[in-house]
Amino acid sequence: MTGTLYGVGLGPGDPELVTVKAARLIGAADVVAFHAAQHGRSVARALAAPYLRAGQVEELLVYPVTTETTDHPGGYQGAIDEFYEAAAARLAAHLDAGRDVVVLAEGDPFFYGSYMHMHKRLAHRYPTEVVPGVTSVSGAAAAVGRPLVERDEVLTVLPGTLPADELAEWLATTDSAAVLKLGRTFPQVREAFDRAGVLDRALYVERASTARERTLPLADVDPATVPYFSLALLPSPPTGPLPGAEQRDETDALEKCHSTGEVVVVGLGPGRRSWTTPEAAEALAAADDLVGYGPYLDRVPVNPRQTRYPSDNRVEAERAAHALTLAQQGRRVAVVSSGDPGVFAMAAAVLEVAGRPEFAGVPVRVLPGLTAAQAVAARVGAPLGADFCVLSLSDVRKPWDVVVDRLRHAAAADLVIALYNPRSTARPHQLGEARAVLLESRAPETVVVVGRDVGGPEERVTVTTLDELDPETVDMRCLVLVGSSQTRVGPGGVVYSPRTHPASGS
């Protein structure tokens, strides 16, 4: 077996910006290779030194030419190509012998790095992995404390070796730019910034993230002092310093926006965190306060920036009023529901209370969530594939005779029925009574699905019939799906309701 080739990025210069993975691979490698100029000193090796171990083979890859002239028949490019071929052959010998080889790269291996020349020559022949590193552009932006781009702005990365006219054209048409490979190219780079009319907001960064870091306006730089490890930055105009009045206006606008507050009613889905939509997760993360039934709030990861207000399950109106009052005080409030907030949950309660005169003007948004009926149905197939209805067996907010009447009509209409709140300790008899009502017009062999804690740690899904349904096995953590006359159990226990009704003739 051959060894593995690793291209490992070391970041812009601070040894603490070497990633954990890079440090681990450097320490484990049989062979560590690094480039250097004729003087033999390697910046990459110096960065990796804390992670090297005794007994490792070190391959020093010395460039035959950097800024010097050469008498190679192929000129500079011919000398460099010959060097890369020879260096690749040296590393291939180790790989063929089964040794893992780490090639060190300042910054990121694929960002103007020498490693890529080894990659092009070896990656198709040996197992290869590239470990990204913090780029010099990222390090420089952090050094000057200036964001490079935001929203839909464009960042252009340019080599300083381009002609000044071409550089100026790029700089004049982009939002933000980073120009690398300075040193001897600095005079033409500075000229390009001047021609583009952006020299006044350009910045210079030297040896970012190291003890020798230096930053100053590009216009103030002495060309004689510029090393190769430096770059020029053009932050976008919106990220530049704003005049005091404009900055105050922006701050006032943000405070005014925040002072209005709002209530967002979100659904977590029925169980697992992956069933919470990205939109709901975003609203939860942005909230100042979380309001909801205690067990539902427990499903939301704790954020010390936020205040949580858990309450009992039977105080929905009080909970809604509390959330709206907080919003009046300029707070961003998330009212948390399980499943979908609009299905037997907090959305209706909040909107009802929000209609009171004292809460006029408080904005309320409702974000949908995956509801229990959908989750249970998906676990067994597609029992909701045809017309269906959703009913709650709870008589807390409506008389039991109204529940029975609606259930009887739904059964007579031959709809698939999703029964929420099927049975609790306070009303243990009602599911049995509902079953009896259903059997008045439904066949005993009607398919029934009982899902308990679907998406949670105690998930259990049972497929049975209306005749064999045992109400004693059902509690408030269950949802019951009662099929129509067309609902079928297919091969493998899959449950589905055909979309085509027999009366259609098709």
Put the strands of the sheet holding 203-206 in their side by side order. Answer: 155-159, 176-180, 230-234, 203-206, 214-217
Bridge partner residues of 416 (DSSP)? 388
Same domain? 22 vs 80: yes
475: nearest Cα among 408, 430, 410: 430
- Report yes or no on 62 lying in a domain: yes
Same domain? 215 vs 288: no
- Report yes or no on 445 lying in a domain: yes
End-to-end C-alpha distance for the chain, whole angstroms: 62
Same domain? 398 vs 439: yes
- Report yes or no on 245 lying in a domain: no
- Report yes or no on 204 lying in a domain: yes
Read off the CATH number of the domain in which 423 is found: 3.30.950.10
- Report yes or no on 506 lying in a domain: no
Do residues 218 and 199 make contact, with C-beta atoms less than 8 angstroms apart?
yes
Read off the CATH number of the domain in which 351 is found: 3.40.1010.10
- Report yes or no on 27 lying in a domain: yes
Same domain? 194 vs 216: yes
pLDDT in tens, 31-70: 999 998 888 889 999 999 999 999 999 999 998 877 667 7
Same domain? 85 vs 163: no
Place of tokens 């250097």: 36
Separate counts of helices (H) and strands (E) for the chain = 15, 23
Same domain? 210 vs 229: yes
Residue ending a domain, among 239, 274, 289, is 239
Boundaries of domain holding 349: 255-367
Same domain? 399 vs 441: yes
Same domain? 109 vs 142: no
441: nearest Cα among 474, 404, 471: 404
**Sign for the pseudo-dihedral over CA of 278, 281, 287, 290:** positive
Total domains in the chain come to 4
Question: pLDDT 10s per residue in the chain (506 long)?
Answer: 899 999 999 999 998 999 999 999 999 999 999 998 888 889 999 999 999 999 999 999 998 877 667 778 888 788 889 999 999 999 999 999 999 999 999 999 999 988 999 999 999 999 999 999 999 999 999 999 988 888 889 999 999 999 999 999 999 999 999 999 999 999 999 999 999 999 999 999 999 999 999 999 999 999 999 998 899 999 877 544 444 444 444 444 444 444 569 999 999 988 778 888 888 888 898 899 999 999 899 999 888 889 999 988 778 899 999 999 999 999 999 999 988 999 988 999 999 999 999 999 999 999 999 999 999 999 999 999 889 999 999 888 889 999 999 999 999 999 999 999 888 888 888 899 999 999 999 999 999 999 998 888 888 999 999 999 999 899 888 999 999 999 999 998 899 999 888 877 65
Same domain? 143 vs 45: no
- Report yes or no on 273 lying in a domain: yes
Residue ending a domain, among 330, 347, 367, is 367
- Report yes or no on 285 lying in a domain: yes
Same domain? 384 vs 403: yes
Strands (E), 135-271: 155-159, 176-180, 203-206, 214-217, 230-234, 262-267
Residue ending a domain, among 348, 367, 386, is 367
* Cα dihedral 275→278→284→287 (10° resolution): -170
